[in-house]
């Protein structure tokens, strides 16, 4: 059986690369989608992936027409997309009274509108083939809110609302749509947090450690498995017990 095609947006970030690796190890042919990658950067990534079946394609996920062209390009080169992981995300933090409209628009466009842009392109093909897995990477911030992140919290919360709605629309088409809400995960973003604040975060996590990108990647791979056909509309928190809801 040929490998199914999986697309991971934000595929060159910490969580994105870990997810690409996990899916490739699960016998998917993976397309890492991101804004750009220099040849030297991509060469380094490929070396670290130990010849796994991972390819790079550039795309601006906030642009609907680019997403349409991207999906056409991927499917013409590699085959029909069976798995879509919407992982691309940015932050533009600031308290609301000082937040510029451009900061609001950028976060909503990249973190939330991108989910519509790409799902809109792949869902018809998945429906026709009677199979698909869509996983949207939300955040604990979408569940709890965070000071200075009203734009990010709105986008991540909206992502799961989108997830539940689309899950209902396509459930009988063999497509599952789920979200994963990471807690604090080691990445360039969390490494930039002042050490004192990082220590406070670590002290608040019940399992006693910051999450690793592989913790998220394993959850995504589980939801993307063919055997996970009875899980849809689910939000899977992966946060070390930092936030627990009924």
Question: Which residue of the set 131, 152, 184, 230 is catalytic?
Answer: 152
Gap between the Cα atoms of 242 and 246, Å rounded: 14
- State yes or no: is 152 an active-site residue: yes
Angle at CA 210, nearest 5°, toward 206 and 216? 105
Cα–Cα distance list, 206 to 70, 239, 241, 244 (Å): 41, 9, 5, 11
Angle at CA 58, nearest 5°, toward 119 and 154? 45
Measured in degrees and rounded to the nearest 5, phi and psi for residue 136 equal -105, 125
Locate 169 and state its tokens. 């629309």
DSSP alpha helix (H) spans, the chain: 14-25, 39-48, 64-77, 101-108, 114-129, 141-144, 150-170, 188-191, 195-204, 213-224
| Residues designated catalytic | 152
């Amino acid at each position: 059986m040929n490998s199914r095609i999986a697309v991971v947006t934000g595929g060159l970030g910490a969580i994105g690369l870990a997810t690409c690796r996990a899916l490739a190890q699960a016998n998917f042919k993976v397309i890492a989608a991101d804004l750009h990658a220099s040849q030297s950067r991509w060469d380094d990534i490929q070396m670290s992936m130990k010849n796994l079946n991972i390819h790079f394609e550039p795309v601006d996920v906030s642009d609907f027409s680019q997403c349409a062209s991207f999906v056409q390009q991927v499917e013409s080169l590699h085959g029909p997309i069976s798995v879509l992981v919407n992982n691309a995300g940015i932050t533009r933090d600031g308290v609301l009274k000082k937040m510029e409209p451009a900061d609001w628009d950028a976060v909503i466009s990249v973190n939330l509108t991108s989910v519509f842009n790409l799902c809109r392109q792949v869902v018809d093909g998945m429906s026709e083939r009677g199979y698909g897995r869509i996983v949207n990477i939300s955040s604990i911030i979408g569940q709890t809110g965070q000071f200075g992140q009203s734009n990010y919290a709105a986008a991540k919360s909206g992502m799961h609302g989108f997830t539940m709605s689309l899950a209902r629309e396509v459930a009988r088409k063999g497509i599952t749509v789920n979200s994963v809400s990471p807690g604090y995960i080691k990445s360039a973003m969390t490494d930039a947090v002042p050490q004192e604040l990082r220590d406070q975060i670590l002290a608040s996590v019940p399992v006693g450690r910051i999450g690793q990108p592989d913790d998220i990647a394993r959850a995504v791979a589980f939801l993307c498995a063919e055997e996970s056909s009875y899980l849809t509309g689910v939000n899977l928190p992966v946060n070390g017990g930092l936030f627990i809801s009924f």
